[in-house]
A and B are shown apart, each in its own frame.
Chain A
Amino acid sequence: MVYYLLPVKFRPSFLLLASMAFYYLIDAKFLILLLLEILISYFIAKQLKKHQSTKDKKLLLWLGVLIVLVTLAYFKYQNFFILGLQNLIDSFRLSTSTNIEQLLMPIGISYYSFKIISYLVDTYRDKTVNCSLLEYALYVSFFPQIISGPIVRADNLIRQFNNLIYRESLFINGISNIIIGLFKKIVIADRMAPYVNTIFTSYMSYPSLASILAVILYSIQLYCDFSGYSLIAIGIGQLFGIDSFKNFNFPYFSTNIKEFWARWHISLSSWLKDYVYIPLGGNRNGKLRKKINIIITFLISGIWHGTTLNFVIWGLIHGIWNAFSRAKRSVGSFNFKSILAMIVTFFGVTISWIFFRMESFSKACDMIIHMLKDFTISYSAIINTLLPFTGDNSSISYLLVLFVLVIFLLIYESRQFHGKGNSLLWIDVMLLCILFFGSVGSNFLYGQF
């Protein structure tokens, strides 16, 4: 209300203040770092626009990108090096363990760093609109998107800052998106979290059936958690008159891996395509080079998510799968062949999530071996698979409710997938589910990256 009472020209300033206040509340000690990165990158972008010589521009671009990447690497990957150093020291000392203090990572640094890089590169390519420091600062720090994206491009966002007027249809979409996002996050993802966490932490104590169920549930949890967050972020933006592209476009309805990556975390995938894959040469230098470029891009995606070997393996699996997949990105209707392809893609992606979820590569392998080697179906295996839901006889009703909610979401998404209208009745039911089945308190899974 206060926002729309303000004159249109003051609205970006209001949003910037709100964004700064938000960041101060969630991570006060790194607000200065955010402001510094904004100022330095804005200054470099200004210089990029002034200079005509390609050599100077390239130098400036590399300087800007390096500053952002070094800062990102310092906070994100220093713990990896610290642990390595600690292990090295310990191996020499043999006796007591050395404790080197580990660094905390500024919230949202992975996301706003990518936004800054895309702005610098787009400026270098003369693809950005002119903007003031205020608009640029708002683009980088826009509060609904700072924790876990989506990584919206400068061009798309900054253009809208000049016209932040109330649009009823956008406002209604915003409310709907927030409700759908909350439903996915606090009704479905958070309902699965305790079970998934229990089994992934101590999979050997449970039947292999429990591991299989936990892996499938994790696949759904991750999707609902992250796409739920993205919808909430987009929805909040829409309430303030800012529209963004979808970050998830029904990825589990994909019939092949290429289609999956065109639908999953779209803002990151397209960022990697535009700022890593294409600069590497894309598909311009022959088939072999194209495959190598794809694998390198996915490896970088894996390393962006985490420094441990399991993330590298996860990136490698997807890189190789994508590079050697012959399937074309196609959106077909639901028929036997396409449903079968969807199931195969879903299970392939689901198995790869084990490397994504586990804290180490060896544990991920152990879990897969446990799932395959110890597989049995018996009465006691079923009971011990279900019990971790609540620990008592209510586990069955818990699972039943979860099953019904997932089916409800599946029907809703398949309707959306086929372009059927967004009836408010669905939103009503989701709101009721949030009120009766919602659980509040857990973090967003993608916030850690």
Chain B
Amino acid sequence: MKRLVKHIVITLMCFVLLVLLKNQFGYVTSGNTYGMKPLIQNKKVDNLFLGSSIFRQGLDVDVLQQNLRGSTYILTYNGNQPYFMAEELEYLIQQGVEIERLFVDMYVYTTAATPWISDTKLFLDSDLPFKLEIVDKLSQFKDFSINDFYEMFITSNMEHISTFPISSMVASTQFKDGGNLLVTKGKTSEVLDNDDFGTREKLNDYQIEGVHKIIKLCQKNKIELYFVELPKYVKMVEDRREGCYQDLVQLYLEEIDNSNVLLVDYNDFDYSNGEYFQDHFHLSSEGKKVYSQILVNQINLFR
């Protein structure tokens, strides 16, 4: 019995040690072609695109790098929201990353939701103090269950960490400076027209707080800031229901005083072409190429 208890105690001690190591140094196993790690290593980026999978799927890193002055990097997390983008930006600045220009994803559906950890990869890319701070801030308005904590600090990213020599290598072939290199096919307009999406009542106060924090951080650190709205499929753009996507875009624009905004000119981009979209908000590889060219022209014109 003593032997069994000894074994269990030692195993649990190893477990605690591994959890601490994982949360403090897990970022070492993170990929070198995507996420925050390459940015922190390089310490400087001229054009940083900060957003969600909409940016990852909708921006062609090659087109951006060929047409924009200086270095370009796309930092994305699935479902990334303004609240977290502000935290990520602050963390990068704290880690000594110099940013010349920042382009922020204006996807308003996530801005309408209460902040939540939508992509645990953020927890892989950061150290323990950052994670604790995030949890501390979120816990002011969100209830965490033991399961949530367990997932965040223990089980999340374990597959990646335990297979990182292979999984990092595989991921490296899929990304370049945060840009997705995988070819993604579009849908037919028929399929997209049959898919549905909801409406939202209003923007979330905590997310708006995040938007203002991004503005303040950029002002304080002399970063040129632009808000970018990527193309959405025609059904979404022309939706006129109460609380529709375009209503929320207007609310967002009011919050940022309509300044430094890069909206899509739908005269230049065929938003009814299903081949350009994977779904109503994510562009296909074909759509990504066309739109990125439009965006760099817009940026260069704006500047």
Contact = CB atoms under 8 A, between A and B. Distances in A.
B166 interface: yes
- Which range contains the number of B residues in contact with the other chain? 20 to 34
Interface of B: 1, 3-4, 7-8, 10-11, 14-15, 18, 78, 147, 154-155, 158-160, 162-164, 166-167, 170-171, 174
A82 interface: no
Contacts of A172: 1, 4
A436 B154 contact: yes
A401 B164 CA distance: 11
Given A400-B159, A400-B167, 7 more contacts: A171-B1, A175-B8, A424-B7, A427-B7, A428-B11, A432-B18, A436-B18
Nearest to A400: B163
Nearest to B119: A392
Interface string A426-440: 011001100111111
Contacts, number: 63
B30 to A, nearest CB: 12
A380 B52 CA distance: 26
Contact of B159 (A171, A394, A425): A394
B155 A397 contact: no
A134 interface: no
Contacts of B15: 431-432, 435-436
Nearest to B160: A397
Contacts of A393: 170-171, 174
Contacts of B147: 440
Interface string A169-189: 001100100000000000000
Nearest to B180: A393
Nearest to B166: A400
B4 A397 contact: no
Contacts of B170: 393, 396-397
Contacts of A428: 7-8, 10-11
Given A168-B1, A432-B15, A396 B174 contact: no
Interface in A381-404: 392-394, 396-398, 400-401, 404
A204 B78 CA distance: 28
A432 B155 CA distance: 11
A424 B170 CA distance: 36
A424 B11 CA distance: 11
A397 B163 CA distance: 6
B155 A437 contact: yes
Contacts of B159: 394, 397-398, 400-401
B154 A435 contact: yes
Nearest to A435: B15
Nearest to A437: B158
B265 to A, nearest CB: 31
Interface of A: 168, 171-172, 175, 392-394, 396-398, 400-401, 404, 424-425, 427-428, 431-432, 435-440
A431 B166 contact: no
Contacts of A175: 4, 8
In order of increasing CB-CB distance, the 10 nearest A-B pairs are A397-B167, A397-B159, A397-B163, A428-B11, A400-B163, A424-B7, A401-B159, A398-B159, A431-B11, A397-B160
Contact of B166 (A168, A392, A396): A396
Contact of B3 (A396, A398, A424): A424
A2 to B, nearest CB: 18
Nearest to A428: B11
Name the residue in A175, A394, A435 with the highest tally of chain B Cβ atoms < 10 Å from its Cβ: A435
A301 B29 CA distance: 50
Name the residue in B8, B10, B78, B166 with the highest tally of chain A Cβ atoms < 10 Å from its Cβ: B8
B155 A438 contact: yes
Name the residue in B11, B14, B159 with the highest tally of chain A Cβ atoms < 10 Å from its Cβ: B159
Contacts of A438: 155
A168 B2 CA distance: 10
Given A397-B166, A400-B167, A436 B155 contact: yes
A440 B150 CA distance: 11
18 contacts: A171-B1, A393-B171, A396-B163, A396-B167, A400-B159, A400-B166, A401-B158, A401-B159, A424-B4, A428-B10, A432-B14, A432-B15, A432-B18, A436-B18, A437-B155, A437-B158, A439-B155, A440-B147
A427 B8 CA distance: 9
Contacts of B4: 172, 175, 424
B79 to A, nearest CB: 12
Contacts of A424: 3-4, 7
A425 B154 CA distance: 22
A399 to B, nearest CB: 9
Contacts of B160: 394, 397
Contacts of B11: 428, 431-432
Nearest to A439: B155
A421 to B, nearest CB: 13
A439 B171 CA distance: 25
B8 A436 contact: no
A171 B174 CA distance: 51
Nearest to A401: B159
Contacts of A392: 78
A4 to B, nearest CB: 13
Contacts of B7: 424-425, 427-428
Contacts of A168: 1
Nearest to A168: B1
A169 to B, nearest CB: 9
Nearest to B7: A424
A432 B8 CA distance: 10
B163 A401 contact: yes
A315 B42 CA distance: 64
B167 A394 contact: yes
A431 B4 CA distance: 12
A413 B158 CA distance: 25
Contacts of B162: 397, 401, 404
Nearest to A431: B11
A436 B155 CA distance: 5
A428 B9 CA distance: 10
Contacts of B10: 428
